[in-house]
Amino acid sequence: MIPRMLRLPEPGEDTFFLWGPRQTGKTTLLADRYPSARRIDLLKSDVFRRYATRPELLREEVAAMPKPRFVVIDEIQKVPDLLDEVHWMHENLGARFALCGSSPRKLKRGGGNLLGGRAVRYELHGLVSAELGGSWNLDRMLSAGFLPRIYLSERPERLLDAYVSDYLKEEIAAEGVSRRLPIFSEFLAAAALSDTCQINLSAIGRECGVSYHAVDGWFGVLVDTLQGRWLPAYRKRPKRKISVAPKFYFSDVGVVNLLARRGRVERGSDLFGKALENWLHHELATWNDCSGTRAPLSFWRLASGAEVDFVLGDMEVNLEAKASPRITTDHLRGLEALAEEHPHAGRRIIVSLDEHRRRTPSGIEIMPVRMFVDLLWSDKLLH
């Protein structure tokens, strides 16, 4: 098993939710972390039927367990009524639970019991550079994506196709939009082409032949099923007019490649640059969660067009992804404009394919990709 950076509680210490997109390795991680825990897998049809018809059986079975009582429940969103039983047992039996799932959307929309703050929330992302160590290959990751099974496969394209098909059939059908599945498929392609960009909901709606509100709701489905996330614009103390529409990033660049029909992403292409930016967002978001830093992540852009890809915290660190082996003055313009608008801005870094680390006269750090991820995962980025 690939060692994961996410650190979960000791067995029986907490009740917690572990969310994450399908195939990120949640079940494998829980089995490795808690080998002696009682396991309930709601993906099994007989197990699902048993608890869906009589959720109180869980209370009776846990009450009969010796202490300390610790139970792992996989795909908890399939039987939301179990959460009432979990809540009661947490309070009255001292039992603790690891509640795993690929989408909290059904629980939120159905008014499911999210345990009133008693359960900690964790999220497992796809693979990051630190988990693969010396075997990490940037080019492979930008083409195959971050999902463990697909990244490690010799034929990732077929697995990606199956992954997207399963997502459409299972996740989206469960969300009640299956009647408009062909249009939703068009929306997914349009959304993939807009990955790493500011989103114009009206333009995508016109392209797909649906309303602004439908597109807004469908992006909500992607977020709630953990297939993507919004990146807001940094808005504090602007001197000049800023562009505030958020950007959208898919959780897996391999999925983007398939939906946008990119094929293999090659160095030197514009698509490689977009894939590199998606990957950098993935590394930052995963590090933010795993390290416990949870610094706000945003981007900065003036209405005139000057832009910086990622702003960490209150401009403590400001980052640009550049898929170039030779950084020139043209690549510095966004970070130079940011420093002019915000003199308090901290580190300014360009993460690039340049093989040599250097610092410009204005203080911008040019950093090779490998050196940056070593800095990030050694928790030295903010120091």
Token look-up 């950093």 returns: 367
User: Which run of H or E residues covers position 149?
Assistant: helix 148-151
- For 143, 160, 222, 271, the CA distances from 150, given in Å and listed in that order, are 10, 7, 20, 20
Per DSSP, 362 falls in state T
Q: What percent of the chain has pLDDT over 70?
A: 92
pLDDT, tens digit (0-9, with 9 covering 90-100), for 158-209? 999 999 888 766 666 666 655 677 888 889 999 999 999 999 999 999 999 9
Pairing of strands 70-74, 38-41: parallel
* Positions of CATH 3.40.50.300 in the chain: 16-123
Separation CA 144–CA 12 (nearest Å)? 36
Torsion over CA: 62, 66, 68, 74 (sign): negative
Task: Show Cβ contacts of residue 55 under 8 Å, excluding neighbours closer than 6 positions.
Answer: 79, 81, 82, 84, 85
Q: What is the pLDDT of residue 183?
A: 84
Band the pLDDT of 119: cuts 50, 70, 90: confident
Residue 200 structure tokens: 């114009």
Q: What is the pLDDT of residue 242?
A: 66
Band the pLDDT of 232: cuts 50, 70, 90: very high
Average confidence (pLDDT) over 300-327 = 94
Separation CA 313–CA 49 (nearest Å)? 46
Domain 16-123 has CATH 3.40.50.300: yes
Per DSSP, 261 falls in state T
Q: Roughly how many angstroms between the first and final C-alpha of the chain, as a whole number? A: 32
Per DSSP, 242 falls in state B
Separation CA 237–CA 260 (nearest Å)? 37
Residue 3 structure tokens: 């060692």
Longest dimension (CA), the chain: 69
For 327, phi then psi, to 5°, come to -85, 125
Band the pLDDT of 35: cuts 50, 70, 90: very high
Band the pLDDT of 369: cuts 50, 70, 90: very high
pTM of the model: 0.93
Choose among 208, 163, 205, 166: nearest CA to 185: 208
